[in-house]
Structure 1
Amino acid sequence: MTPDDPEEIPLLLRPGGSAPRGRLLFLAAFAASLGPLSFGFALGYSSPAIPSLRRSAPAAPRLDDSAASWFGAVVTLGAAAGGVLGGWLVDRAGRKLSLLLCTAPFVAGFALITAAQDLWMLLGGRLLTGLACGVASLVAPVYISEISYPAVRGLLGSCVQLMVVMGILLAYLAGWVLEWRWLAVLGCGPPTLMLLLMCCMPETPRFLLTRHKHQEARAAMCFLWGSDEGWEEPPVMAEHQGFQLALLRHPGVYKPFIIGISLMAFQQLSGVNAVMFYAETIFEEAKFKDSSLASVIMGAIQVLFTGVAALIMDRAGRRLLLTLSGVVMVFSTSAFGTYFKLTQSGSSNSSHADLLAPVPSEPVDTSVGLAWLAVGSMCVFIAGFALGWGPIPWLLMSEIFPLHVKGVATSICVLTNWLMAFLVTKEFSNLMAVLRPHGTFWLASAFCICSVLFSWFCVPETKGKTLEQIAAHFEGR
């Protein structure tokens, strides 16, 4: 075998064989998904923590508008670096050990925030939690997809995003009753629990096979699936091959590579991270009386519809849900932009604050109704995103890459996602100033239209297929 003609790991479950019955598979998936729960909490932490930091002044580190922007966005820079680190770790240390290692920067980052006496300690803590977010966001989907059999891979893979949004909602809810230091203490809980549980879980059978650990792979399969029925001992096991640029000539590599990067880019260009980081600000500008309650409602809707997506993923299929999700986001972002256009002040453009003020100083009779249009549009957007574009890019990323390039390919996808998240989050305020609020959301709507076309014409259906069958599809076999 040469790098130009890589062999895939043979099927671990014979087509037509009886379905596995192991319940410990679900415990292993839950343990791995505590990593996404932790990085969801880290993402949502900034929304309640920024107002809490400002209320606590002068006892808390000073946080002006610029510092608050960096406090919200720097976690994505750390996550971008974590995505690269995770791609290196997942192939060399393995899936399980990579998840165990990412608990350290999670706990250290939140501990540093808890002890913060100045802005740099806050940003350092956010950077460390971001690093852990990048590793967890890459390794958890890969681990779950490789331990799952086809009938439940969509369900368990979607639980990655479900735990992310549950982490965000947990941060919003806890932010009601906890000030920023105690909120950071709470953030140490999920990664600590993941460390304890993952110590008892096995490595994925596919990774063990690449290391020629056949007995360990069989034992892992028995642990996860309840038996080794359907096990096929390969006559000649392929050596594990690293990524080489020459591999990009092969359709089995470059096709999923393009699809994975595009999915991650479109996910962030929908504007969802800006919405989540600045949820309270957006609802305040929409004149919603209780912006904290609005954020919690948004988080609850996201949890609900992500759960619905997980339940129907293996029936409806990935491509249909992506398309439906994109259509819903097109209409909701268009409606939200229309709200800002109708209520936008006609006053001078002299200041950033003026540009962010959607409601004129003189009251209008339609303001209450239009405010509910904004709230409804945002809720519909979150529901649509959670139904498809939230969970599916992460699920597909873990499914479409062959084993010999999975570490590098997934790390580039995660790097793309987090860099796009940083750009969107950091430049959201500038976009609101240049394009004004209505233009910003109409731009997001245009990107959502592109995502619909891409998902319908370019994304293959992977439901019910083994990872090896998916690889064979891209290779034309």
Structure 2
Amino acid sequence: MTPDDPETQALLGPPRGSAPRGRRVFLAAFAAALGPLSFGFALGYSSPAIPSLRRDAPRAPRLDDAAASWFGLVVARLQAIVTLGAAAGGVLGGWLVDRAGRKLSLLLCSVPFVTGFTIITAAQDVWMLLGGRLLTGLACGIASLVAPVYISEIAYPAVRGLLGSCVQLMVVIGILLAYLAGGVLEWRWLAVLGCVPPSLMLLLLCGMPESPRFLLTQHKHQEAAAALQFLWGSEQDLEEPPSGAENQGFCLAQLRRPSIYKPFAIGIALMAFQQLSGVNAIMFYAESIFEEAKFKDSSLASVVMGIIQVLFTALAALIMDKAGRRLLLALSGVVMVFSTSAFSTYFKLTQSGPGNSSHVGLLAPASVESAEASVGLAWLAVGSMCLFIAGFAVGWGPIPWLLMSEIFPLHVKGVATGVCVLTNWLMAFLVTKEFTSLMEVLRPYGAFWLAAAFCIFSVIFTLVCIPETKGKTLEQITAHFEGR
């Protein structure tokens, strides 16, 4: 018997006759979710920090446009060092999570978070800034992989959707926190603040147990039972898998098995569709669109978008275990189809000629007479953006990360989630880097209609290929892919 066998389902399911009563699982999930909070803060840090770094402040290294493009995620749309560090972190996290365990991997990722922000705080030149940014990116990649896995394995089925969705919720809260704190703190003190969440995670997680499922794969019966008692308040017994349990590692030959290649394909497709939806491009245009709509303070655009993300991601977390994953993904995709179509229509109506670039100049009205009409159209774009972010936050923001942590068997989870996280970050890098070139070829309205087409494909993919996982144990999900 292995932890993926049906017999183990009863051992890791809720206690017989009642739902788990333990509340410490929420504390453990919160401790793990501080990793994604740090991840979000690291992503959002560059937006308020770059204007401060560009000023001629004493002791502040000047940041020119080329350096800023590496420092920020989307700021110059060229290259983003944080995405490259996170891609490497996804590979490292996939290796760590199976060898060091879920808990220790999370503890270890706090080191590059704190070290990276400390280097940024003490930076005397651009290379120190970029080095610190690379380290925080590495930590982001590890946290984005390990936190969903740990939370899904410690949660019982009735709350796994709620707790798993809190990963993305903490990411968007971290981004919003960076935006808000950046309004009152200069870049060095903002980096100091960035050290707080990973330090708190380190303190809280030390008192939490390892994942019971991981402990079973290591044949640690007593530790697994103690972990379940701590997390769920359960007194049930666990059977230790025999030392000769098979399938305790991954090899390419296993890709011939439906229980491996089906979740692999689904996980990779989910991460690709998430980035191909156009979310990064729409976030890039946010401030410009708010300026065209004569918003009093266009710098508030990022804060407004952040608040929308937090509210609707929280809504998704609350209804995830009732509505289900497939329904929310399909609804999210439909909303994104309509909003990206409206956004591309805005570009079509406002472009003034074939020579327009795809940058902010495209948003300017062609004549004085059209200025008032342009403002009205800009408010259409603002509404489209807000609708897109709300739709994305309800489904395609949190659910790919949640499903990634649910659908893979234990013995391939490290490799499989590592491939998914690597796919996500590489797609984020490519879309961020190449979207401007795409708009020059297809024109902006064509590029966003292409994004709408990908959203349509994502809805079809959801309805045809993705199984519903709400209320099921991880072992039942594996059994589904095996046809049992």
Q: In which range does the TM-score fall when normalised by the shorter chain?
A: over 0.9
Query: Given the superposition, is the C-alpha separation of residues 438 and 150 from structure 1 closer, same or farther in structure 2, using an over 3 Å criterion?
Result: same
- 2:70 aligned partner: 70
Give the C-alpha shift of residue 399 in structure 1. Answer: 0.2
Deviates more, 1:260-269 or 1:289-298: 289-298
- What is the count of residue pairs matched by the alignment? 473
Whether 2:456 is the aligned partner of 1:449: answer yes
**Cα contact 2:141–2:421 (8 A) shared by 1:** yes
Q: Please say if residues 210 and 240 of structure 1, whose CA atoms lie closer than 8 Å, have aligned partners that are also in contact.
A: no
1:399-452 superposed Cα distances (whole Å, 9 cap, x missing partner): 000001000000000000000111122223333444333222222111111111
Counterpart of 1:396 in structure 2 is 403
Tell me, in whole angstroms, the C-alpha distance in 2 between the residues paired with 1:451 and 1:326.
Answer: 7
Counterpart contact for 1:109–1:129, Cα < 8 Å: yes
Q: How much has 1:65 moved relative to structure 2?
A: 3.2
CA RMSD after TM alignment: 2.2
How many Å apart are 1:36 and its aligned residue? 0.4
1:282, 1:64 → 2: CA distance?
25
Q: Distance in 1 between matches of 2:348 and 2:24?
A: 53
> 297, 315, 323: which is aligned to 1:290?
297
Secondary structure class of the residue paired with 2:390? helix
Please tell me whether the aligned partners of residues 331 and 395 of structure 2 are also in contact (alpha carbons under 8 angstroms).
yes
Specify the alignment match of 2:196 in structure 1: 189
Which residue is equivalent to 2:368?
362
Task: Give the Cα separation in 2 of the matches to 1:101 and 1:476.
Answer: 37
Work out whether residues 348 and 354 of structure 1, in 8 Å CA contact, stay in contact via their aligned partners in 2. no
1:104 alignment partner AA? V
| C-alpha separation in 1, matches of 2:241 and 2:38 | 41
Map residues 267-346 of structure 1 onto 2, 5 A cutoff.
267-276=274-283, 279-281=286-288, 283-284=290-291, 288-346=295-353
* Code of the aligned partner of 2:61: P
1:184-214 CA-to-partner distances (Å, cap 9, x unmatched) read 1111111010000000100010000111110
Measure how far apart 1:281 and its partner are. 4.8
Q: TM-score, normalised by structure 2?
A: 0.92
C-alpha change, 1:40 and 1:28, in structure 2 (3 Å) is same
After superposition, residues 109-148 of structure 1 pair within 5 angstroms as 109-148=116-155
Structure 2: how far apart are the matches of 1:235 and 1:120? 50
Give the counterpart letter for 2:410 in structure 1.
L
Give TM-score, length-normalised by structure 1. Answer: 0.94
Aligned-partner residue type, residue 436 of structure 1? R
Q: Are the counterparts in 1 of residues 29 and 163 from structure 2 also a CA contact under 8 Å? A: yes
How big is each residue's C-alpha offset from its partner over 1:1-32, in whole Å with a ceiling of 9 and x where there is no partner? Answer: 89xx9857712345764100111100000000
Please state whether the residue corresponding to 2:8 is helix, strand or coil: coil
- In the alignment, the residues of structure 1 paired with residue 312 and residue 268 of structure 2 have an alpha-carbon distance, to the nearest angstrom, of 24
1:268-320 C-alpha deviation (Å, 9 max, x unpaired): 11122344466435544666442221211110011000011001101111001
Q: Return the alpha-carbon distance in structure 2 between the equivalents of residues 102 and 8 of structure 1.
A: 33
Q: For the residues of structure 2 that align with 1:239 and 1:265, how far apart are their CA atoms?
A: 32
Q: Which residue matches 2:470? A: 463
Percent identity at matched positions?
81
Residue 118 of structure 1 deviates from its aligned partner by 2.2
Cα distance in 1 for partners of 2:6, 2:254 equals 14
2:44 aligned with 1:44, yes or no? Answer: yes
| Higher mean C-alpha deviation, range 366-375 or range 165-174 | 366-375
**Counterpart in the other structure of 1:254:** 261
Structure 2 CA distance for partners of 1:222 and 1:239, relative to 1, 3 Å: farther
Structure 2 distance, partners of 1:83, 1:206, is 21
Which residue of structure 1 aligns with residue 225 of structure 2?
Answer: 218
CA contact (8 A) 2:224 2:238 kept: no
For 2:146, give the aligned amino acid: V
CA contact (8 A) 1:78 1:131 kept: yes
- Contact map agreement 1:347 1:354 (CA 8 A) in 2: no
Q: 1:96 to 1:434 in 2, by over 3 A?
A: same
**1:20 maps to which residue?**
20
**Structure 2 counterpart of 1:315, one-letter code:** K
Report the equivalent of 1:29.
29
Contact 2:219 2:241 in 1 (8 A): no
Deviates more, 1:24-33 or 1:268-277: 268-277
1:10 paired residue among 8, 12, 25: 8
Q: 2:289 touches 2:382 (CA, 8 Å); kept in 1? A: no
Is residue 172 from structure 1 mapped to residue 142 from structure 2 by the alignment?
no
**Closer, same or farther: CA 37–269 of 1 in aligned 2, 3 Å:** same
Task: For residues 378-410 of structure 1, give each alpha carbon's deviation from its aligned partner in whole angstroms, at most 9, with x where no partner exists.
Answer: 110000000000000000000000001000000
CA contact (8 A) 1:95 1:204 kept: yes
- Separation in 2 of the partners of 1:196 and 1:210? 26
1:440 maps to 447
CA distance in 2: counterparts of 1:457 and 1:159, whole angstroms: 26
* 2:426 is the counterpart of 1:428: no
| C-alpha distance after superposition, 1:110-135 (max 9, x if no partner) | 11122222222222111111100000
Q: Distance in 2 between matches of 1:101 and 1:197?
A: 14
Task: Indicate which of 176, 194, 212 corresponds to 1:205.
Answer: 212
> For 1:403 and 1:8, how far apart are their aligned partners in 2?
13
Gap regions ≥5 residues in structure 2: 73-79
Amino acid at match of 1:447: F
Moved more, 417-426 or 339-348: 339-348
